[in-house]
Structure 1
Amino acid sequence: MEVIEILREASNRIYENVKDLAGTEHAAGDFGRGAGGDISRNIDIVAEKTVLDYLKEINFECIVLGEECGRVELSDNSKGYVIMDAIDGSANAVRGVPFFCSSLAFATENKLSSITDGVITNLVNGEMYWASKNKGSFFNEQRIKVHDNDPIYKIVGINISGATEDLVRRFLPIFEKHNHLRHFGANALEMAFFARGLVDIFIDLRDKIRIQDIAAGYLIVKEAGGLLLDADLNPLDSDLSYETRVSFIAAANKKILDEIMSQIDQ
């Protein structure tokens, strides 16, 4: 079985196991802090167990890097890394806000740039975004591209959750000039929306994003033709360490990148 099919099946199983859990009293609970640093909730634990059980069932030889479970070595002869954020947008999922997803990616080496396959599934409705390296990005079975024309409404995504006062101040010119700013609370799904052409640029300069949050989105955005850069406007790359935190900008093209970045106070 191809790696992308394994990730897609694992994602489908997550959806089946959590679709009726979100927003209920059974979604929450406090299981301590996971490997990524956040409080693990029951819905997170159910979703991760679903993936781990499936990978063991098919004897997929890999090292899992999970948001909650940490590093789990499923083989002494690993083919690579499954980078898993089984529930991205846990706060939304626990409260029942209909915007959360699963994010699964596969990397052959300990680098973001070595990712070969990625799947993001909208866990509210089962819609799936997926990509394999050099094969394009897809929404369900339809090929997708970033929005590369002049949009009717320019939609700018900015994540400022927990941002410093200084960073918020730098964004003030954008707040003043753009009427259509968005952040929905699940970076992976927002990257998928961007890849589908629903958002024109997405910015997160907080230096807080974990690799699990963006691994699948990294490939899906690139295969959809988007620019994916770090805070210094260099191509985004990093190791897969749990200590690593990144900032990133996903832009549909250089024109909108230059326009929006020129409005951020340095």
Structure 2
Amino acid sequence: MTDWLATCRAAVADVQGVLVDLPTRVEREPVVGTGEGGDETTVVDAEVERVVIALLDDRLDDYTLVSEEIGEVVKGSGRPWLVLDPVDGSLNAKRGVPHFCLSLAVADGQRMKDVNFGYLYDFGTGEEWTARRGEGAWLDGAPLGAVRPKDEIELLAFEATLTSSIAEKASNVVGLAHRLRVMGSLALALCNLAAGRIDGVCSLKGARSVDIAAAQLLVREVGLAIDLFEHPPFEDAPLDLEPRSRVVAAANDELCARLAAALALS
């Protein structure tokens, strides 16, 4: 049986080597193509994905990999399903802003409900976030869940967004959220929600499984609410690269519904 935690930690070590070799935006930000997820692929995106896939290929005989840059790769039997975002927070990573992560989800099927292990590593803080389906979620090995988000939203994270999108949607959450944060990583925003550090998360463009598959498991394991409100139900969302819906997450279903309604306003 694969030791997924050890595998992910080995991947982190390899990525750290890439970041040392590409120390500044001069080395990191040149565009080398367009990823299967639709975004520009920079040098740092490509190199991080390359070393992680090389490690997975060396350790595993069978898998289906869905990754932001390369798309879908099938090896052997095609099981389990792996959902990889080599760099969530790519713009932060290429500019040297220390808030981006490696995200890997492991699933025994092709839907969000099938994710059984989630791993994220924040290269800014050095924090390690993990979750196992039906067992719980952890930050650096300590159980999450004792500190929950507030039932009234003091801090709301807007992610996957442009200045124009913030200008369009910020007024819609007046009276619902006291303050906004735009930190640049949807996956880490969901992790911080699971830790009770923020009280809600909204993506202002469609979220793909690579963005949320690992982090959503933390959110759900600590009993919080998350929804792809434009393409429900959340549990049946395919593990692929299609951005079918914006995502909202908060302490409970009622707050999620209010966030979704706010985003739906023109």
2:222 to 201, 210, 224: 224
State how far apart, in whole Å, the 2-side matches of 1:235 and 1:198 are.
26
Aligned to 1:249: 248
Q: Secondary structure at the match of 2:32?
A: coil
What is the number of equivalent residue pairs in this alignment? 263
Aligned to 1:214: 212
Q: Secondary structure at the match of 2:198?
A: coil
Which stretch of structure 1 is more off in the superposition, 143-152 or 12-21?
Answer: 143-152
Aligned to 1:114: 114
State how far apart, in whole Å, the 1-side matches of 2:209 and 2:10 are.
22
Aligned to 1:89: 89
RMSD value, Cα? 2.8
State how far apart, in whole Å, the 2-side matches of 1:209 and 1:149 are.
22
Q: Secondary structure at the match of 2:129?
A: strand
Aligned to 1:236: 234
State how far apart, in whole Å, the 1-side matches of 2:102 and 2:160 are.
21
Structure 2: gaps (5+ residues): none
- Rate the CA distance shift 1:19–1:116 in 2: closer, same or farther, 3 A: farther
Q: Deviations over 1:154-179 (max 9, x none)?
A: 111223714877x9655414246644
* TM-score normalised by length of structure 1: 0.86
| Residue 264 (structure 1) shift | 6.1
| Residue 19 (structure 1) shift | 5.2
| Residue 210 (structure 1) shift | 1.4
State how far apart, in whole Å, the 1-side matches of 2:145 and 2:122 are.
18
- Rate the CA distance shift 1:60–1:13 in 2: closer, same or farther, 3 A: farther
Q: Secondary structure at the match of 1:180?
A: strand
State how far apart, in whole Å, the 2-side matches of 1:152 and 1:201 are.
9
Q: Secondary structure at the match of 1:198?
A: coil
**Structure holding more helix per residue:** 2
Alignment of 1:45-84 (within 5 A): 45-73=46-74, 75-84=75-84
State how far apart, in whole Å, the 2-side matches of 1:86 and 1:214 are.
12
**Kept after mapping to 2: 8 A contact 1:204/1:248:** yes
**Is 1:181 aligned to residue 177 of structure 2?**
no
State how far apart, in whole Å, the 2-side matches of 1:265 and 1:58 are.
44
| Residue 63 (structure 1) shift | 1.4
**Kept after mapping to 1: 8 A contact 2:155/2:179:** yes
**Is 1:172 aligned to residue 171 of structure 2?**
yes
- Rate the CA distance shift 1:210–1:234 in 2: closer, same or farther, 3 A: closer
Percent of residue pairs identical? 24
